[in-house]
Amino acid sequence: MLDEVLEKLKADSTFQNNVTHWEVIPPRKGRYREIPPDIDERIVSALSEKGIERLYTHQYESYIRVRNGENVVIVTPTASGKTLAYNLPVIQSLLEDSSSKAMYIFPTKALSQDQQAELNETILSGNLPLKVFTYDGDTPTSIRISVREEGRIVITNPDMLHTGILPNHTKWIKFFKELKYIVIDEIHTYRGVFGSHMTNLIRRLKRIASFYGSKPQFICCSATIGNPLELSERLLEEDVVLIDDNGAPSGERHFIFYNPPLIDRVQGIRRGVVQESRRIAVSLLEGGIKTIVFARSRLRTELIASYIRESLDKFYKRGHNIEVASYRGGYLPSERRRIESGLRNGRIRGVVSTNALELGIDIGGLDASVLAGFPGSIASAWQQAGRAGRKSSLSLSILVASASPIDQYIIMHPEYFFAKSPESGWVDPDNVYILVDHLKCAAFELPFDKDEPFGGPAEEVLSYLEEGGTVRFTGGKWYWSDRSYPAEGVSLRTSTPENIIIVDTTEGRNEVIGEMDLSSSKMLLYDGAVYIHQGDQYIVDRLDLENKRCYVSESRENYYTDSIVKTDIKVLEVDEKTPACGIDAAIGDILVRSQATKYKKLKYHTHENIGYGEINLPADEMHTRSVVLLFSEDTLPGSYFRELEEPVQALLMEKLGNLFKNIAPVFLLCDPRDLGIAERVKDPFFASPSLYIYDMYPGGTGLSEGFVARLAEIVSGSLELVSGCPCRSGCPSCIGPSEAGFGESGQATGKNPKAITIQFLEKWVGTFRNEKESGF
């Protein structure tokens, strides 16, 4: 069916006019090994029931390596049987040794539930005597004891391990004594600050295991990432074997880059990504193609899904409907399960999703994926594209570009996309901020022996903590001596896990229909907002932040709503101003405030603005640390800056910000999403052009201090990067892409931003290189 559709697309000249690239990735044959003879009969028959008679080479290799006692990291594409690659050796070992246990760690609760369902299926069909439990915040108190006592495989997440399990490890004696395997899936999510927390969490986990005399072996899995082996060795601080020789077959894949047509050539306005993605998805679905659409926000997900349903309703007479679901965070677990199983058994033919379906949730095979906008990273784009494609059949992925500079760059430069390797992940477990937090937690869990290895300058930090009385050194050990429960004060993630419950109150009903995290709710669930849930439309009657409830009722408006969010930065306190690289760098505390103050009412389909409403909700505030680079007139770089015309100054500032965000993670061992950037040509606080680089974790994690310490390297590295970059006028890898047409027609400032940036950086680097040479 898909080949017919592809032929049709090839012949369609209007469609072809908008295609900037058509990549055909050839099919791959599967490579297999026999199921190893030592595997338990019951597993073999359970596998056979699922139609598995032999293993892919990578599954076989992982089995052999794990059974041989090695730590492994498995990196193969979606739907290549990764789950089996780790379940097989674990289940076999657990069957051989009836007391041993395994812990599975997934980054989110949704993934844990999915995994438990899959494991139970295998275990039940094989009648295996293994109990699998999920232990997270949703686990009822009544069954927690049996999880601890009877669970052979316990599935959990890092947050639960951090605040629930480790600080109460005496309740888990039986489990820790016999802990043999730790499976960590989706390890690519543990990078940057989150990854640094994770490494310390693993240090703590190993410490507790060794207290009970066990030394667990690690099995990691990762999606596409630039440096999986390096990342996993840094996370585990042990030797790891990389298994990335994918033995799973794949069919021919077509990857089409599609740029919506211009509707206003003069202003360069293109048709919207929402409507274009809908059109493409509808024609695929009508052709009988199982399709997934990835949208970049929850609102767009619901909007595209609603449009698709409407179009299909027009096309089909009753009784021939194609079911199309929307999928995003915030649905109730039962609803998510229903959609997932509907996709697997084919009842649901199409789905529109946020990146929630990008991770390993099992939804079976789909034929086509439509990326409604570039998802922001190369790795994500491949992951989303990979959702389409079964073992042997043809598949199609279409990237539909939005008007944003980054989308336009990618769509016009397909060679950039196909040649660039995916982003790498870094961690810095010895970051003092993070280390201090985890040493406190670790001391609470078990007293520290003098000279006990933990990682980083542990002893120095402990003796420092002792000065403040948080720990006490006596009898050759450091004891926790504070009344608090330290894990409670340490969050592994940027946002608080608090959720708002959405309650439908239509006609005296009182039913929970969904949930949403606190900060998103302020942007999406304000009084008067239109809330779309699986195509059903509701209006928000009242958002009760105090009781974490949002009351909605059914509505039939002809518009949807979108809030206008303002973010501003307030300097709270400047701790120090130090000269660095010829300019002044200020370090201090700032308050980043984001607030939705108004919302637009937008008519469906035309998206025209038909009115406004006020939003009266408290701002979202984050108190964090920032470094501010000050280009004041009395410094040399500052004077170079002043020589530029004002619009060019603003442009340069923006480009420097992009550049630093791209390059600083390499030096600071963090992730680009850990850094926030704000630029102000006229800064009211410092009264000079200022570039803010701040920490995205509340309270800061030392990135600002680190940034100043390595400023010279970052600035020189930036110059190297941008001048060595093969692009013409800026691309996502260096200073960021320019507005469409820039550099050619000479719009806006009339200058090539890349040239401006290089010139400025050369002069700037010149100032401090000279200082060094002159004996500074």
- Which residues of this chain interact with other proteins, rule CB under 8 A? 167-170, 173, 432-433, 436, 443-447, 457, 460-461, 464-470, 472-475, 477, 479-486, 488, 508-511, 575, 702, 705, 709
Work out how close the CB of 162 gets to other proteins at its nearest, in angstroms, rounded to a whole number: 12
Nearer to other proteins among residue 487 and residue 592 (C-beta): 487
Nearer to other proteins among residue 190 and residue 433 (C-beta): 433
Nearer to other proteins among residue 98 and residue 474 (C-beta): 474
| Alpha helices in 487-608, H assignment, sequence order | 518-524
SS3 765: helix
Nearer to other proteins among residue 286 and residue 482 (C-beta): 482
| CB 541 within 8 Å of CB 527 | yes
CA 348 to chain CA centroid, nearest Å: 26
d(CA 56, CA 52): 10
Work out how close the CB of 445 gets to other proteins at its nearest, in angstroms, rounded to a whole number: 5
Nearer to other proteins among residue 410 and residue 703 (C-beta): 703
Tally the C-alpha atoms within 13 A of residue 515's C-alpha that lie toward its C-beta. 13
Work out how close the CB of 508 gets to other proteins at its nearest, in angstroms, rounded to a whole number: 4
Residues with Cβ within 8 Å of residue 616, at least 6 apart in sequence = 526, 527
SS3 683: coil
The secondary structure of 350-418, three-state, reads: EEEECHHHCCCCCCCCECEEEEECCCCCHHHHHHHHCCECCCCCCEEEEEECCCCHHHHHHHHCHHHHH
Work out how close the CB of 543 gets to other proteins at its nearest, in angstroms, rounded to a whole number: 21
CA 8 to chain CA centroid, nearest Å: 36
Work out how close the CB of 474 gets to other proteins at its nearest, in angstroms, rounded to a whole number: 6
d(CA 244, CA 95): 27
Query: Is the alpha carbon torsion for 506, 509, 510, 516 positive or negative?
Result: negative
Nearer to other proteins among residue 494 and residue 506 (C-beta): 506
CA 479 to chain CA centroid, nearest Å: 37
Nearer to other proteins among residue 374 and residue 480 (C-beta): 480
Q: What are phi and psi of 732, to 5 degrees?
A: -60, -20
Work out how close the CB of 156 gets to other proteins at its nearest, in angstroms, rounded to a whole number: 17
- The encoded tokens of residue 273 equal 């990504």
> Residue length, the chain?
776
Instruction: Look at strands 511-517 and 499-504 and give their pairing.
Output: antiparallel
Nearer to other proteins among residue 216 and residue 456 (C-beta): 456
Nearer to other proteins among residue 204 and residue 270 (C-beta): 204
What H or E segment, with its residue span, contains residue 196? helix 192-211
d(CA 716, CA 723): 11
Q: What are phi and psi of 379, to 5 degrees?
A: -60, -45
Nearer to other proteins among residue 469 and residue 684 (C-beta): 469
